[in-house]
Structure formats: structure tokens, C-alpha cells
Amino acid sequence: MKLKSVLVLLVFTIITVLTGCEPLMVLDPKGPQAKRQAHDILLSIGIMSFIVIVVFAILIYVLIKYRASKQSPDYEPPHIEGNKWVEIICVGIPVIIVTYFSFVSVQSNYIVEAKPQGYQDKEPLVIYASSSDWKWHFSYPEENIETVNYLYIPTDRPVEFKLYSYGPITSFWIPQLGGQKYAMSNMVTTLNLAADEPGEMMGRNANFSGKGTAENMFNVTAMSEKDFDKWVKDVKKTAKPLTEGEFNKLLKPGHLGQMTFTGTHLEFSPAPEHHNSESTKTEEGHEDHSQMEMSDHQSHQ
């Protein structure tokens, strides 16, 4: 009776705690990329839960069926050889599960890396998202505006983020729109997302990058294209221009509130999109120049 009361109390406590929790953001998707990832997470949880229940059921069955019994002291159990079917099941089922998960994972990777499903025919909004200690800079080159620590995006339109960093490696993550992707200092990575419905969301740096990481977050607002266009016009009327001196101040380590500017830092501090290719060209040009000097020297001799 005492054990039963403890179990009832335990179940009641678990239910009470779970009902007080907010829903996981990754399981509350607001875009096609996040919906695919949420589907994969729930699929994994369902299959793993089924496996755990089956394994525990078999364990209980074996413990009851083959439990020790009162036999005579000279009892000798029969010799039993291995069962090939049991071995096939024990090896084959895990192989099938791993193969299936691998197939789903690879398929999902291709889906979330491509332009969001349903938006293939729409022109994406390009936003350069760069990080510094410990803030986020969002440059809208087409609209010629820039924001700090907050992001406005239109719904029903793909958004192509160009990610890079002015400091350590960071991780750009909006859980309700898609998975995270790293932002690095000498290269640009691309992340394709889209919002299906208007609303407020939270984004953050999901990678540890110093003492200010915990507060390295930004607000995301998805709105209709009409409202987005109106916001862009209002910013151009009211915001002050972003100068190189002002931007250099923003790059200094520290936390800032939300800020808005006209113009972008891409004009005087462009993203390192062609850094690697330019280095290669420089090296190749140097090699060609050396070879020309060597040929001229040989011709002179």
C-alpha cells in the first residue's frame, strides 16, 4: 500500500511539473524548415519509445518465465544451443533502424539546406547576419538599412541569411524557423529560412563564445510583406546613418540594446564572401610572376 501511494505521488508530481512547462520552441515550428526538423525529432522519439517499451516488455517476460525455481539440489538444466532467429532479430533490427534513420537524416539535410519548400519560385530576401562580442548585426543590402539585436522579416517569402563573424565562431539559431548554423570570421555560410505566419520569436547564439554568450540573443518579428515594406520606409525616414566610426564602436565587446540605422556596414566593411578566392588568385598571380622572371633570366643567359 505504501509503495502504491509513492507511485501515485510520483506520477502526480511529474504531470504537475510538465503542465507548468512552456512548449519546446523546436516543437512549435513557424516555418517549413523547422516543421521538417520537428517531424524528424518526433519520429525519433516515437521509434525510440517503441523500442524501449518492447525491450522492457521482453525483459519482464524473461525475468518471470525464466526465474529461479525450487529444484532438487542435483538438478542439471538442459544444454541449449544458440537460436539463429534470436541472433538475426537482435542484429537485424538495429541495422534496419540505423539504416532508416540515416536515410531520413540525409534526406532532411538536403531539404533544410535548400530553399524552403513552397517558396522555390519566390525571390529571397537577402540578409547579412554578422556577430561580434556579444551582439548581432543585420544588414539589408536591398533595403539599405541595418539593425542591431533585432530582426524583421516578411512572411510567405524565403529569407537567405549570409552568416559571418567579427570575432569568435558563433552559431545563428532561430529555433522556431530552423536549425543553427555557424558564423565564422573568414568565410560566409548561407542559411535558408522562411516564416509561414506572423509573430514574435527568439533567436540566439547557440555556441559558447565568451562570458557574454548567455545574453547574446536577438528578437525576431515576422510580419506581412505590406507591414515589412512600411517598416522599411519608416526606418529610412527616422533612423540615422551608419558611419564607419559608429560601426567600429559597435564592434567593441559588450552588450547593447536594439538599434536601427540607414545604410549598412557592407559599404566600408564588406562580408568575406570572396576572401578565399581572392587569396588563391593572389597566390596564383605570384607564382606566374615568379615563373616569368625565371624565364626572362634563362633567356638573358
Alpha carbons 199 and 218: distance in angstroms, whole number = 14
Which spans in 20-31 are helix H? none
Helix, coil or strand: residue 249 = helix
Query: What pLDDT is attached to residue 284?
Result: 40
Q: Which three cell numbers stand for residue 254?
A: 559588450
Dihedral sign from CA coordinates of 6, 12, 15, 20? negative
Alpha carbons 290 and 276: distance in angstroms, whole number = 21
Query: What pLDDT is attached to residue 62?
Result: 87
Alpha carbons 220 and 230: distance in angstroms, whole number = 17
Instruction: Tell me what the mean pLDDT of segment 134-152 comes to.
Output: 96
Written as one letter, the residue type at 209 is: S
For the cut 50, the answer to whether the pLDDT of residue 40 exceeds it is: yes
Query: What pLDDT is attached to residue 128?
Result: 97
Structure confidence at residue 274 as a pLDDT band (50, 70, 90) = low
Q: Yes or no: say if 174 and 193 are a contact pair by the CB < 8 Å rule.
A: yes
Q: Go through the chain and tell me how many residues it has.
A: 301
Instruction: Tell me what the mean pLDDT of segment 63-88 comes to.
Output: 82
Range list of β-strands (E), the chain: 125-132, 135-140, 145-148, 150-154, 159-165, 170-173, 181-183, 189-193, 199-205, 217-223, 240-241, 259-262
Query: For the chain, percent helix, then strand, then coil, each to nearest 5?
Result: 45, 20, 35
For the cut 90, the answer to whether the pLDDT of residue 280 exceeds it is: no
Rounded mean pLDDT of the chain? Answer: 85
Residues 1-29: pLDDT tens digits? Answer: 566 665 667 666 666 555 545 567 888 99
Query: What pLDDT is attached to residue 77?
Result: 76
Nearest 5°: phi and psi at 118? 95, -10
Instruction: Tell me what the mean pLDDT of segment 18-41 comes to.
Output: 82
Of the candidate ranges 60-69, 168-177, 258-267, 282-291, the one whose mean pLDDT is the lowest: 282-291
Helix, coil or strand: residue 211 = coil
Query: What pLDDT is attached to residue 257?
Result: 92
Query: What pLDDT is attached to residue 66?
Result: 80
Of the candidate ranges 209-213, 214-218, 272-276, 295-299, the one whose mean pLDDT is the lowest: 295-299
Instruction: Tell me what the mean pLDDT of segment 42-46 comes to.
Output: 94
Instruction: Tell me what the mean pLDDT of segment 63-81 comes to.
Output: 80
Of the candidate ranges 22-26, 82-86, 251-255, the one whose mean pLDDT is the lowest: 22-26
The proportion of the chain whose per-residue pLDDT surpasses 70, expressed as a percent, equals 83
Half-sphere exposure of 217 (CA within 13 A, CB side): 8
- List the one residue out of 197, 186, 191, 152 whose CA is nearest residue 172: 191
Instruction: Tell me what the mean pLDDT of segment 162-173 comes to.
Output: 95
Q: Yes or no: say if 100 and 179 are a contact pair by the CB < 8 Å rule.
A: no
Hey, what domains does the chain have and what are their CATH numbers? 125-265 (2.60.40.420)
Instruction: Tell me what the mean pLDDT of segment 112-141 comes to.
Output: 94
